[in-house]
Amino acid sequence: MLRSAAMITVLLSSLATSASASEWRILAQFDDAPEGLVSDGEGNFYVSLYHSGHIMRVGKDGKTSQIADLRSVIGDADGSTVGLDWDRKDTLYVAFSEYSKRFPWPAEANLAVEACGDATVTKSGLYKVTISTGKVEPVVTRADGYPFCFPDDPAVGPDGKVYVSDLSLQAIWKIDPDQKSAEVWSKDPLFSPGDRSLSGYPVGVNGIALAGDGKTLFGVTGGIPMLVKVPINADGSAGKAEMLSFGYDNMDGLEVDADGNFYLTETTRSEIWKVSPDTKKRQQLGNPLQAPLGAPASIAFGNGEICVTNLNFFKHLPADKANSIACGKLTDPLW
């Protein structure tokens, strides 16, 4: 009996070790909290800074340089520069969410609905950054009459259209950058926690990502934390959303690799998870006990590593590790 117990202990220890990314390190630090993150496919990254509105490039050696400043267009608007995505050419699309002075969401979580209805908020929306010149231009914003509430994470489709999650509206927009038009693409009931929020935040879809074939959009939700799937119909409209996986805390970032595995960030517990394509298996890649993680937000891959932005929303990290990108080497999967 003692031998069996010892064997179980060894097996569990082995499983815990193999279930984590190894050799976590800080790739880069900033003077502001990083939020959005995307790889250029060559080991370098583009990053958005949450408060300042600066858009940065980070080399594979960790050196940082500023390539654009949203403040050149949004002025002194108080808000969050959130997710970004790259069109694989010369354009970054960046989401910006202006705060309401009358109803201070997200500082007060119960005022999300009121903040959405503040007509004095005009800067929330999607912005375009030309990488080669640093020029910033609005694509569509509330000033154009669209009721964006908290635009959060963009994902560029194969046809050039941009999907944008709206955290407080609990919806996903579809934006045509050429026409400078937007539509509420999906406002599926599955996104809304109603009065049943398990995380304590009355929010909907946060991070989104497209399948490799461009026929499905995936998202993670924050109010009732789960991984969801939204089919893209042949005519481009949204199908009915479906829950794929649940049992998390407040979700933020999402990425899908070439094999169809999902990578999720969990902000409250500062955890990173890998989920198999069939969603029947999950593997923890990092937690604050063994990695420099503080409210990890966006995810990107580079040089055999998974990298995340440490938004540090709940002040988990000390100053010498905060405002950072953390990267960990990916181990062999358990499946």
Bridge pairing between strands 324-329 and 305-310: antiparallel
Domain boundaries, the chain: 2-329
Express each pLDDT in 226-281 by its tens digit.
999 999 999 999 999 999 999 999 999 999 999 999 999 999 999 999 999 999 99
Classify residue 330 by its DSSP letter: P
Structure tokens belonging to residue 243: 């829950």
Q: Are 285 and 20 in contact (CB under 8 A)?
A: yes
Nearest to 283 by CA among 24, 23, 17, 20: 20
Is the whole-model pTM more than 0.75? Answer: yes
H or E element at residue 47: strand 45-49
Mean predicted lDDT score pLDDT of the chain: 92
154 neighbors 144 (Cβ within 8 angstroms): no
CA distance 209 to 326: 20
Q: How far apart are CA 114 and CA 267, in angstroms?
A: 24
Gap between the Cα atoms of 205 and 211, Å rounded: 17
User: Do 104 and 94 meet the contact criterion of CB atoms below 8 Å apart?
Assistant: no
Determine the average pLDDT of the residues in 162-182: 97
For residue range 6-48, list pLDDT tens digits in order: 433 333 333 333 445 568 999 999 999 999 999 998 889 999 9
Q: Residue 2 region, left (φ>0) first, then alpha (ψ -120 to 50), else beta?
A: alpha
Torsional class of 158: left (φ above 0), alpha (ψ -120 to 50), beta (otherwise): alpha
DSSP per-residue string spanning 139-200: EEEGGGT---S-EEEEEE-TTS-EEEEETTTTEEEEEETTTTEEEEEE--GGG--TT--SSS
CATH 3.30.930.10 for domain 2-329, yes or no, is no
Q: For position 257, what pLDDT does the model report?
A: 95
Q: Show Cβ contacts of residue 91 under 8 Å, excluding neighbours closer than 6 positions.
A: 128, 129, 130, 131
CA-wise closest residue to 246 among 219, 218, 273, 225: 225
57 pLDDT band (50/70/90 cuts)?
A: very high
Classify 142 in phi/psi space as left (phi over 0), alpha (psi -120 to 50) or beta: alpha
Cβ neighbours of 196 (radius 10 Å): 9
Q: What pLDDT, on a 0 to 100 scale, did the predictor assign at position 107?
A: 84
Average of pLDDT values for 56-81?
Answer: 97
Would you state the pLDDT for residue 21? 59
pLDDT reported for residue 112: 82
Weakest-pLDDT range from 13-22, 115-124, 305-314:
13-22
- Assess contact for 214 and 232: CB atoms under 8 A: yes
Percent pLDDT > 70 in the chain is 93
